[in-house]
Amino acid sequence: MLDINQCEQARVRRDRRFDGMFFSGVRTTRIYCRPVCPVKPAKAANVTFYPSAAAAELAGFRPCLRCRPEAAPFSPAWIGTRTTVERALRLIADGALDDGNVEALADRLGIGSRHLSRLFQRHLGASPVQVAQTTRVQRAKRLLDETDLTMSEIAVHAGFGSLRRFNTVFAEVYRRPPTEIRRARNQVVRNVGSR
């Protein structure tokens, strides 16, 4: 547990570095908050610090509706959002967005598509569609490097809806068409084989 002076300074400054490390209970309102709560800070004389939300509730405080202590870093809800994103990533890797959409993926996770997009933005800085596209391109690059499949077969196995889409997206990402990368790989293989 941090010392009281550190907690007080972090609470008054709304210091994000301390979010989830302690909670402050306001004795006059019987509400407990995170250090980042947007509400005007209570007087220091009316505040008690707790190492967890559970400790604050055990002391008779109820959670603030503004800063939502249950969503503080390292809380079960916070870990839960990361778990939801990790599960979504596994589903995307298995092709959930190759032949489905974000709404169907969100339904499988038991949440709304807007919430899923917010979670992806918070944890990954990209949308589910962008992550799926990157996953497809990476899968296609591996197939291009490690197999002799035709471009059409690679497009299908990587999860692209068409060869045209595969070529377009691949060229956007790698700044060259997939056939050029395949030719370069084949040239390296021929040069190594002729030695």
Residues 85, 60: one domain? Answer: no
Sheet harboring 47-50: ordered strands across? Answer: 47-50, 23-26, 31-33, 62-63
- Unique residue bearing structure tokens 């400054």: 13
What CATH number is given to the structural domain containing 15? 3.40.10.10
3-state secondary structure of 157: helix
Same domain for 12 and 53: yes
Q: Which two tokens stand for residue 193?
A: 């084989």
Specify which residues 23 forms β-bridges with.
50
Q: Are 141 and 178 part of one and the same domain?
A: yes
Domains of the chain: total: 3
Domain end point (choices 69, 89, 110): 69
Report d(CA 22, CA 184) in Å as an integer: 56
Give the Cα separation of 112 and 18 in Å (integer). 30
Say if residue 40 is in the same domain as residue 96: no
Strand partners, 22: 19
Phi, psi of 160 (to 5 degrees): -80, 145
57 & 10 share domain:
yes
> Which of 46, 69, 92 is the last residue in one of the domains?
69
pLDDT tens sequence for the chain (195 residues) = 568 999 999 999 999 888 888 999 999 999 999 999 999 999 999 999 998 888 888 899 998 888 888 666 666 556 668 888 889 999 999 989 988 899 999 999 888 999 999 999 888 888 999 889 888 988 998 899 889 999 999 999 999 989 999 999 989 888 889 999 888 887 876 776 666
Of 47, 69, 91, the residue at which a domain comes to its end is 69
User: In the chain, what are the helix, strand and coil shares in percent, each to the nearest 5?
Assistant: 60, 10, 30
Q: Distance (Å, rounded) from C-alpha 57 to C-alpha 77?
A: 16
Q: How far apart are alpha carbons 78 and 115 in whole angstroms?
A: 14
What is the domain range of residue 150?
131-193
61 and 81 co-located in one domain: no
> How many other β-carbons are positioned within 10 Å of the β-carbon of residue 193?
7
* Domain match, 22 and 64 both: yes
- Count CA atoms closer than 13 A to 163's CA, side-chain side: 5
Quick one: 86 and 49 in the same domain? Answer: no
Same domain, 112 and 143: no
| Whether 189 contacts 182, CB under 8 Å | no
Residue 135 is part of a domain; what is its CATH number?
1.10.10.60
